[in-house]
Amino acid sequence: MTNPVSICVIGSGYVGLVAAVCFAEMGHSVVCVDNDEARVKTLREGGVPIFENFLPELLAKHRAGGVRFSADLADSVQSSEAIFIAVGTPQGESGAADLSFVEAVVSAIAQSITEYKVIVEKSTVPVYTNEWIRRVLHRHGVDPQCFDVVSNPEFLREGTAVVDFLHPDRIVVGAGSERAAEVLRRIYEPLTGGAYYDREDAVQGACNAQRPARLLVTSAQSAELIKHASNAFLALKISFINAVANLAETVDADIEDIAAGIGMDSRIGSKFLRAGLGYGGSCFPKDVAAFRWVAQQRGVDFQLLDEIRKINEAQKQIFFNKVLSALWTLRGKRLAALGLAFKSDTDDIRDSPAIDVIRKLLDAGATVTAYDPAAIERARQVLPPSEKLRYARGVYEAAEDADAVLILTDWKEFAAIDLARLQRAVRFPIVIDGRNLYKPREMLDRGFTYISVGRPASYQAQQGKPWGVVL
């Protein structure tokens, strides 16, 4: 790379670690700072604290050169041209994002600025956070000529974050000065110019040298709103298709066919039209709530955001009711719960619908055996093993002698279950699928009672002869 930028990324969590490693992959010199010295030590020694495709390989590739890890914020700030803030912004009691970590980091940065720096919001923050960062720096006596504040929101999906970063749909830069915008252009030039995609060792994805990444420069306020509005709109698509699924069940329609028909419209698109248990994770619930709070503060009655949240919460209760209806009573029932993460290809259980459903089942008196390919250790921290809950090492161990099998996360492994082996393992061949991984007719033909989302249930008679599809 002919014009690398020295970059400091503050925060080695999900966004910060992915950003740091990807900047190094693009050819920049990166230091990733965290005040958790144990985490820094783990990263220095080659440990990978989060489950994410391509991340272990890129960490191993760049740990000795392109990216280093440090607990010394002052030295890291002084040696860097661009400083990316990627610390947590958890949801507060009012729904607003808690920006105390951002403020603490900005106060610390202020002590180390002696020459021009570009300070970049990478964390998801509400509109006008850029202005508050400026005020904090001013209060600490930093010369306004020594910094610019830029908003550069992330649009990463857990499980595909590295590919999303290196092959983005768009790169949004909210800058108030051309000087700051030019620094961000330099940082992303390997992607926007296409040079990265010509490399033999490049991570493969949707972009290439002929169709490189696109960069949009806006005001900081517009960039901040783009992030929240994007996530709220995606949450809306998920909630909308779930509401349609509930209607589809009442009229003997198939939500998979409906979603396919809707998604073929190029104005709508097929992504995020998967009916199921609703959204979860660290972004959508928090960002919808924060967006609603921002609207309220500005006197805007954004009622649609309330409905998105209500529909999403209702999906978990609707699924619980399906389980209850299929088994009549849950007290004393043995259930296999397949999935703990909020989605596949991640170990993240934050706001996971699967965790909420399991809690409801336990409260109703059921005994649950749970399995997830990646999230068991994290789940143990919030749902400790007990007399009523244990964790299995695989699908068939979880299903052993179960009264019903529940599919709660859309792992590919769960879509490829050996159904004959599953039937031998369970007490009753009942599958209640919250992710629509199977076709009702196929499950009926294989001898299962099969209940899914937005489709007619397929019931088997006790003697094993099909009753057919009923509502």
Catalytic residues: 283
Distance CA 369, CA 460 (A): 24
Q: Which of 471, 456, 453, 469 is nearest to 245 (CA)?
A: 453
Task: Give me 171's structure tokens.
Answer: 């790169």
Strand partners, 232: none
Judged by phi (left if over 0) then psi (alpha if -120 to 50, else beta), residue 78 lies in alpha
∠ CA 237-191-52 to the nearest 5 degrees? 55
DSSP assignment of 101-144, as one string? HHHHHHHHHHTT--S-EEEEE-S---TTHHHHHHHHHHHTT--G
Task: Give me 377's structure tokens.
Answer: 């250790």
Q: In 10 A of CB 413, how many CB atoms?
A: 15
Distance CA 148, CA 82 (A): 10
Distance CA 175, CA 118 (A): 10
∠ CA 204-232-155 to the nearest 5 degrees? 25
Burial 346-375 (b: 16+ CB within 10 A, else e): bbbbbbbbbbbbbbbbbeeebbbbbbbbbb
* Contacts of residue 385, Cβ cutoff 8 Å, sequence gap at least 6: 391
Parallel, antiparallel or unpaired: strands 389-391 and 404-407: unpaired
Q: Are 58 and 22 in contact (CB under 8 A)?
A: yes
Residue 150 is inside which H or E element, if any? strand 147-151
Q: Give the distance, in angstroms, between the CA of residue 351 and the centroid of all CA atoms in the same chain.
A: 10
